[in-house]
Chain A
Amino acid sequence: QQQVKQSPQSLIVQKGGISIINCAYENTAFDYFPWYQQFPGKGPALLIAIRPDVSEKKEGRFTISFNKSAKQFSLHIMDSQPGDSATYFCAATDSWGKLQFGAGTQVVVTP
């Protein structure tokens, strides 16, 4: 079964809007939470990652919010641009385990 649950499956946002993707996990041993971005016909690429000792990490227009007690984390894409249209995967792992990927969210940014 999926160890990381991701929602929504897809979303459409207007240029300049905010895209929000949510993920939840159960395994309290997870201590590393990356987000990968995948464009059509390409492999996933690391976008941003967070460890649970911080509640938020920002890199440019991309922000991860992390709620350890709720076992949830989310990706916010601010000022969404058409070039952000892609599929986004959250993932989680512990120190020695395998990356567990969420099901993915297809983001479409309309002009």
Chain B
Amino acid sequence: DAGVIQSPRHEVTEMGQEVTLRCKPISGHDYLFWYRQTMMRGLELLIYFNNNVPIDDSGMPEDRFSAKMPNASFSTLKIQPSEPRDSAVYFCASSLGTSGGAQETQYFGPGTRLLVL
């Protein structure tokens, strides 16, 4: 398996623009997580899905952020409008959920490095 695939790997945009990050989880995994990593705040969980349904979006910073999972093999994280403070590395991870998604190994993608000017 190719692992979790994220695109783009790098994104540079200007403040106010819409940004869309994409993720393809490992085939057969039924949990998908979106994380944000910054020096100041470390690794933060933004939202996670189980069987394509959003379960917990309490980590989403504000209404400018939205995430979708239209099918088992694709998810997007959208920021509209983007701001400089959104600059971070965004990771997607997936896991097989049996007893609960949090206690199964999460497989992270390579991340998308976002810079908002």
Contact = CB atoms under 8 A, between A and B. Distances in A.
B62 to A, nearest CB: 19
Q: Please classify the interface of chain B as helix (H, G, I), strand (E, B), loop, or mixed, using the class held by over half of its residues.
A: mixed
B54 interface: no
Nearest to A97: B102
A96 B43 contact: no
A32 interface: yes
Interface residues on A, range: 20 to 34
A49 B95 CA distance: 15
B71 interface: no
A76 B78 CA distance: 39
Contacts of A46: 105-106
B110 A96 contact: no
- 7 closest pairs, A vs B, by CB? A43-B108, A93-B102, A101-B43, A32-B103, A96-B100, A46-B105, A103-B42
Given A43-B110, A98-B48, 16 more contacts: A2-B42, A43-B91, A43-B108, A44-B91, A45-B108, A46-B105, A49-B105, A93-B102, A95-B102, A95-B103, A98-B45, A98-B59, A99-B106, A101-B42, A101-B43, A103-B42
30 contacts: A2-B42, A32-B103, A34-B105, A43-B4, A43-B93, A43-B108, A43-B110, A43-B111, A44-B43, A45-B107, A45-B108, A89-B42, A89-B43, A93-B102, A93-B103, A94-B102, A95-B99, A95-B100, A95-B102, A95-B103, A96-B102, A97-B102, A98-B48, A99-B45, A99-B102, A99-B106, A101-B43, A103-B42, A104-B42, A104-B43
Interface of B: 4, 42-43, 45, 48, 56, 59, 91, 93, 99-100, 102-103, 105-111
Interface of A: 2, 32, 34, 41-46, 49, 89, 93-99, 101-104
